[in-house]
Amino acid sequence: MSILVVGSVAFDSIGTPHGRVQKCLGGAATHFALAASYFTDVRVIAVVGEDFGPEQEAVFTRRGIDIRGIEHAKGLSFHWTGEYSGNLSEAKTLGTDLNVFADFEPKIPEAYLDSEYLFLANIDPKLQAKVRAQMPNAKLVCGDTMNYWIADHRETLGEVLKELDVLLINDGEVRMLSGEHNTVRGAEKVLAMGPKALVVKHGEYGATAFFGDRMFLNGTPNPFRAPALPLAEVVDPTGAGDSFAGGFYGYLASQPSLTSAAFRRALFYGGVMGSFAVERFGTERLQDVRLAEIEDRFRLFKEISHLEEHPGDVPA
Amino acid sequence: MSILVVGSVAFDSIGTPHGRVQKCLGGAATHFALAASYFTDVRVIAVVGEDFGPEQEAVFTRRGIDIRGIEHAKGLSFHWTGEYSGNLSEAKTLGTDLNVFADFEPKIPEAYLDSEYLFLANIDPKLQAKVRAQMPNAKLVCGDTMNYWIADHRETLGEVLKELDVLLINDGEVRMLSGEHNTVRGAEKVLAMGPKALVVKHGEYGATAFFGDRMFLNGTPNPFRAPALPLAEVVDPTGAGDSFAGGFYGYLASQPSLTSAAFRRALFYGGVMGSFAVERFGTERLQDVRLAEIEDRFRLFKEISHLEEHPGDVPA
């Protein structure tokens, strides 16, 4: 089933211990859409400037992504500048030029209205709410946010949370949103704010899903932990979380029904797509993954986390 | 098969957001021995003072632990004072009174010499080396250490590492020992120092095992990630790592042979015993776990980490 994603399509200038890139294609909606495109149809709502041309369009269209909802405005596209050091776990933002994004008013093309899966990437919760309101028949709504919106736009964000099925945020955001140090108690508080399920991203340690009692028809499952792949080399972590979200949501949308078993597998596919994303700068790796590579890595994720499933094992 | 553990048997005075205890029984060898005692026979080498009496002895003997190797010296036992705040992830040490531990010279009773599994808990690497040298026929040697020995006793520690089969340390210790931010590259460097396998403890995120090419007869497995249980309440994290080690090593010693499949299950049992340990202050919980509780929690660990194994699932 089709996913509609609203979020940023941007240019990123990134420095990591592995090098620097200037104005490569980025943005949450871009990473998300590319990762999800390996599983299902994806439609994008965003705004770009005059610096976004056929070269950038082709990155989407080569993956079959529908970009009729990308609005072209006068001026430059959103431009983020940041760098990573040490273990690359956190970006230091050096510049945020909103440019055309400052006046972004999401408009949903008629052709997108039948999208059954909605993903509200990390943007102003006011815009997330506007898009949500225009998609009353969405079957599943998943969203992301960040520290900035939690700190300074809590009320608007609260309205968005009430309308979410799944919220995908990281450990620090759970602590900030809930005021709790303990992840389990923090998750309970966040679930009480509206989302039926909460996926907490732990970076190199994977992710944990917590479920409220309205998520699945067949009861409330225990929390579920999905691993991340231990990687010897992370070239550029930018967009890893959005790629995780794309793999997760793309897989979920590709399944015949929303079961807890599908949700668990989706978390593994999230980790798989996140692990590809960081192998090269920007979206380079996600532009060109083979389906067989995705399945191989899914098997590897099982092997590193499951007691059985080890083809190399010999009997004791 | 029998495990011989050398390490501290101590009194701990602990403050956490859940309360305070004064001089409760603690020490790495104590937590380790109790956790391992649910799986196999355990023998302890340690030194205690005149404050260690029948009440403390009974904690070991009720669990069938052999304490003939606990030496009684004049003076007081090792006493650690510490407290935790926030998310309880790190202890602040307020006092370390070595007392009789300052002159500890481990002596191995004749009756212990046939122990096949040796565990060198976190003590001066000089003492670890002495014990190791007295047990030339140990089938498997596993050890722990900490930042203090890595920083100031690196050469002696290096000699111990050469003799280890398995090293169990946490993320920060891997970074410190290897000088690498990246866990995978850090693990490679640590494995090059001697251990055939490295288990990296991630606290609330579980643990990852890395294997060198001499660990198992049947090839070098991929890394393996074991989950930790998401806990809403951690009463006292003191000894969680030692309890993890006890569950891990106890299970391994109980198995007919050292296979990679047994090693993986052992990591799960490590997490299981660690999750019990933190439920109450000191060793209180580990003194009294039922085997059925251990098996139930092992199943829960599988359920929170495995794609299948979910009895509540209904077909899509």
- For every residue of A25-44, DSSP letters joined together read EE-HHHHHHHHHTTTS-EEE
- Residue in B88, B183, B264 closest to A230 by CB: B183
Contacts of A314 in chain B (CB under 8 A): 217-218, 259
Q: Contact A185/B210, CB-based, under 8 Å? A: no
Residue pair B237/B278 in contact by the 8 Å Cβ criterion: yes
Q: How far apart are CA A121 and CA A142, in angstroms?
A: 8
- pLDDT tens, position by position, B80-120: 999 998 778 788 999 999 999 999 999 999 999 999 999 99
| Residue at token pair 């029984």 | B25
Q: How far apart are CA A187 and CA A171, in angstroms?
A: 10
Q: Contact B230/A184, CB-based, under 8 Å? A: yes
Tell me, which fold does domain A3-167+233-303 have in CATH? UDP-N-acetylmuramoyl-L-alanine:D-glutamate ligase (3.40.1190)
Looking at residue A308, its pLDDT comes to: 86
Residue pair A58/A30 in contact by the 8 Å Cβ criterion: no
Three-state SS at B27: coil
The shortest C-alpha distance from B118 to chain A (Å) reads: 22
Q: How far apart are CA B246 and CA B268, in angstroms?
A: 12
Whether A313 contacts chain B with CB within 8 A: yes
C-alpha dihedral over A27, A28, A34, A39, to 10 degrees?
-170
Chain A residue closest to B269 (CA)? A307
- Residue in A264, A307, A314 closest to B218 by CB: A314
Residue B279 neighbours by CB distance under 10 Å: 15
Q: Contact A261/B313, CB-based, under 8 Å? A: yes
Residue spans per domain, chain A: 3-167+233-303
Looking at residue B314, its pLDDT comes to: 56
Looking at residue A316, its pLDDT comes to: 44
Tell me, which fold does domain B3-303 have in CATH? UDP-N-acetylmuramoyl-L-alanine:D-glutamate ligase (3.40.1190)
Residues of B (81-140) whose Cβ lies below 8 Å from A: 86-88
Looking at residue A87, its pLDDT comes to: 76
B249's CB contacts (< 8 A; 6+ apart) are: B3, B32, B36, B117, B119, B142, B266
Residue pair B286/B29 in contact by the 8 Å Cβ criterion: no
- Residue in B88, B219, B222 closest to A304 by CB: B222
Q: How far apart are CA B204 and CA A22, in angstroms?
A: 38
The shortest C-alpha distance from A230 to chain B (Å) reads: 6
> Which residues in B8-45 are b (16+ Cβ under 10 Å) and which e?
bbbbbbbbbbeeebebbbbbbbbbbbbbbbbbbbbbbb
For chain A, residues with pLDDT lower than 70 are 309, 311-316
For chain B, residues with pLDDT lower than 50 are 316
Question: 0.80 cut: is pTM over it?
Answer: yes
Chain B residue closest to A186 (CA)? B232
Residues of A (251-280) whose Cβ lies below 8 Å from B: 255-257, 259-262, 264-265, 268
The edge-to-edge listing of strands for the beta sheet with A79-84 is A19-26, A10-16, A79-84, A91-97
- pLDDT tens, position by position, A159-169: 999 999 999 99
- How far apart are the two ends of chain B, measured CA to CA in Å? 46
Q: Determine the residue among B182, B190, B213, B275 to mutate to test chain A binding: the one whose Cβ has the most chain A Cβ atoms within 10 Å.
A: B182
Q: Contact B307/A306, CB-based, under 8 Å? A: yes
Q: How far apart are CA A69 and CA A5, in angstroms?
A: 10
Residue pair A92/A82 in contact by the 8 Å Cβ criterion: yes
- Residue in B304, B312, B313 closest to A225 by CB: B304
